[in-house]
Structure 1
Amino acid sequence: MSERLKAILSKKGAIKKIGVVGMGYVGIPAAALFADSCAYDFVWGFQRNSPSSGYKIDLLNRGISPLKGKEPMLDSLLARVANAGKFACTSDFSNISKTDAVTISIQTPFLNKDDLEPDFRPLLEGLRSVGKHITEGSLVVLESTVTPGTTDGIAKQILEEESGLTAGEDFALAHAPERVMVGRLIQNIQEHDRIVGGIDDVSTQRAKELYSPILTKGKAIPMSTRAAEVTKTAENALRDLQIAAINELALYCEAMGINVYDVKAGVDSLKGEGITRALLYPGAGVGGHCLTKDTYHLERGVKMSPLKPDLPDNNSSIFVVARNINDFMPRHMFNLTVQGLKRAGKKPEGANVAILGWAFLNNSDDARNTPSEAYHDLLLKAGANVKVHDPHVENYPGVAILQDPLSVLRNSDAIAIMTGHDEYFKLNALTVKELAGSEQPVIIDGRNVVSPDEFIDSGFIYKGIGRGDKNMHPIRPLNPLECIAVGHHAGP
Structure 2
Amino acid sequence: MRKIAIVGLGYVGLPVAAAFGEVVPVVGFDVNRHRIETLQQGIDYTGEMSAADLERTNIEYTADPTRLSSCDFIIVAVPTPIDQAKKPDLVPLMKASETVGSQLTKGAIVVYESTVYPGTTEEVCVPILERMSGLTCGKDFFVGYSPERINPGDQEHTFTNIVKVVSGMNEDTLSIIADTYGMVVQAGVYRASSIKVAEAAKVIENTQRDLNIALMNELAIIFDHLGIDTSEVLAAAGTKWNFLKFTPGLVGGHCIGVDPYYLTYKAESIGYHPQVILAGRRINDSMGKFIATSLVKQLALHNKLIQGARVTVLGLTFKENVTDLRNSRVIDIIEELREFGIVVTVTDALADAQEAEHEYGLPLVPLEKLAPADAVVVAVPHQAYRDLGWAGIQDLLDAKTGIVVDVKNMLDQSKCPDGVTLWRL
Shorter-chain TM-score range: over 0.9
Deviations 1:287-337 (A, max 9, x none): 1101111111111222334xx56xxxxx75211111111111111110121
Q: 2:401 & 2:44 partners in 1: Cα distance?
A: 43
The amino acid that maps onto 2:53 is: L
Matched, 1:405 2:367: yes
Distance 1:316 1:56, change over 3 A: closer
| More deviation, 288-297/257-266 | 257-266
2:20 counterpart of 1:78: no
2:316, 2:330 → 1: CA distance? 6
| Aligned residue type for 1:460 | V
Task: Give 3-state SS (helix, strand or coil) of 1:463's partner.
Answer: strand
* SS state at 1:118 partner: coil
Alignment of 1:228-377 (within 5 A): 228-271=198-241, 276-283=242-249, 285-305=250-270, 317-377=275-335
TM-score by length of 2: 0.94
Q: What residue identity is the alignment partner of 2:298?
A: G
CA gap of 1:277–1:290, structure 2 versus 1, over 3 A, is same
Q: Which amino acid aligns with 2:29?
A: F
Output one character per residue of 1:38-79: Cα deviation in whole Å (capped at 9) or x when no partner: xx2x1111111xxxx4211111112221213xx3x6442212
Aligned-partner Cα distance in 1 for 2:96–2:231: 45
Tell me if the contact between 2:151 and 2:157 (Cα under 8 Å) persists in the aligned partners: no
Tell me if structure 2 keeps the 8 A contact 1:113–1:296: no
1:46 aligns with 2:29: yes
Secondary structure at the counterpart of residue 137 of structure 1: coil
**CA–CA distance in structure 1, aligned partners of residues 156 and 36 of structure 2:** 20
- 1:9 paired residue number: none
**What secondary structure is seen at the aligned counterpart in 1 of 2:380?**
coil
Mapped to 2, the partners of 1:194 and 1:374 lie a distance apart of 35
Letter in 1 for 2:263: L
Q: CA RMSD in A?
A: 1.9
Which one of the candidate residues 11, 16, 25 is aligned to 1:25? 11
Q: 1:167 aligns with which of 137, 155, 164?
A: 137
What's the counterpart of residue 484 of structure 1? none
In structure 1, distance between residues paired with 2:84 and 2:45: 30
Q: Which amino acid aligns with 1:235?
A: E
Equivalent residue number for residue 62 of structure 1: 41
Aligned to 1:451: 412
Equivalent AA in structure 2 for residue 242 of structure 1: N
Alpha-carbon shift at residue 453 of structure 1 (Å): 4.0
Deviation, 1:218, is 3.4
| Inter-partner Cα distance in structure 2 for 1:123 and 1:431 | 44
- Which deviations, in whole Å up to 9, do the C-alpha atoms of 1:157-214 show, x marking residues without a partner? 0001111111111111011110111012684211111111212222222211221111
Mapped partners of 1:199, 1:289: distance in 2: 27
Q: Which has the larger radius of gyration?
A: 1
For 1:26, the aligned partner's letter is V
Is 1:100 matched with 2:79? no
> Matched residues in 2 for 1:90 and 1:439: separation?
52
Partner of 1:136: 106
Cα 1:151–1:435 change in 2 (3 A) is: closer
Question: Aligned partners of 2:322, 2:153: CA distance in 1, in Å?
Answer: 6
Instruction: State the match for 1:216 in structure 2.
Output: 186
Which 5+ residue runs of structure 1 have no aligned equivalent? 1-13, 310-314, 466-492
| Counterpart position of 1:470 | none
Deviations 1:10-52 (A, max 9, x none): xxxx31x211111110011111111012xx2x1111111xxxx
Distance (whole Å) between structure 1 residues aligned to residue 89 and residue 193 of structure 2: 26
- Partners of 2:51 and 2:411 in 1: CA distance: 31
| One-letter amino acid of the counterpart of residue 277, structure 1 | F
Identity %: 30
Match of 2:346 in 1: 388
Is the CA contact (8 Å cut-off) linking 2:75 and 2:110 kept in structure 1?
A: yes
Q: What is the CA distance between 1:428 and its match in structure 2?
A: 4.4
TM-score scaled by length of structure 1: 0.81
Deviations 1:211-266 (A, max 9, x none): 11111123233320111111111111001011111111122222222222222222
Which shifted more, 431-440 or 378-387? 431-440
CA–CA distance in structure 2, aligned partners of residues 406 and 62 of structure 1: 31
Which residue in the other structure is 1:424 paired with?
385
Structure 1 residue 381, shift from structure 2 partner: 2.4
Contact 2:311–2:342 (8 Å) recurs in 1: yes
> Are the equivalent residues in 1 in contact too, given 2:264–2:274 (CA < 8 A)?
no
Question: Post-superposition shift, 1:432?
Answer: 4.0
- Structure 2: how far apart are the matches of 1:111 and 1:140? 26
The answer as to whether partners of 1:137 and 1:171 remain within 8 angstroms in 2 is yes
Give the aligned residue type for 2:243: R
> Cα–Cα, structure 1 residues 301 and 200, in superposed 2: closer, same or farther, change >3 Å?
farther
Measure the CA separation in 1 of the matches of 2:201 and 2:258. Answer: 15
The 1:33/1:439 distance shift into structure 2, 3 A limit, reads: closer
Whether contact under 8 Å (2:288, 2:333) holds in the other structure is: yes
Aligned-pair distance for 1:362? 1.1
Structure 1's consecutive aligned runs of 4 or more residues displaced over 3 angstroms after TM superposition are: 426-435
Q: Match of 1:44, as an amino acid?
A: V
Q: What is the aligned partner in structure 2 of residue 87 from structure 1?
A: 59
- Where does the alignment leave 5 or more consecutive residues of structure 2 unmatched? none
- 1:4 corresponding residue in structure 2: none
Aligned length: 420
Q: Tell me if structure 2 keeps the 8 A contact 1:127–1:158.
A: yes
Q: Distance in 1 between matches of 2:21 and 2:4?
A: 8
Tell me, yes or no, if the aligned pair for 1:172 and 1:206 is still in contact at 8 Å.
no
Is this contact kept in 1: 2:44–2:51, CA < 8 A?
yes
Whole-Å Cα distance in 2 between the matches of residues 161 and 377 of structure 1? 45
**Are 1:195 and 1:222, in contact at CA under 8 Å, matched by a contact in 2?**
yes
- Seen in structure 2, the aligned counterparts of structure 1 residues 79 and 184 have a Cα distance that, compared at 3 Å, is same
Give the drift of 1:146.
0.9
Deviation at 1:431, TM superposition (A): 5.0
